[in-house]
Structure 1
Amino acid sequence: MKEFLKGFLAAALLVLISFLIVPWIGGFVAFMIGKNLDWIADSYFGDYWPWVLSFF
Structure 2
Amino acid sequence: MLVVEATAVKVPARPDPTIVLHTPLEEANTAAKLEWPASPEGRRGAMYPVAG
Give the alignment's TM-score, normalised by structure 1.
0.27
Structure 1 or 2: larger strand share? 2
Say which structure, 1 or 2, has more relative contact order (CA 8 Å, 6+ apart): 2
Rg comparison, structure with higher value:
1
Structure 1 or 2: larger helix share? 1
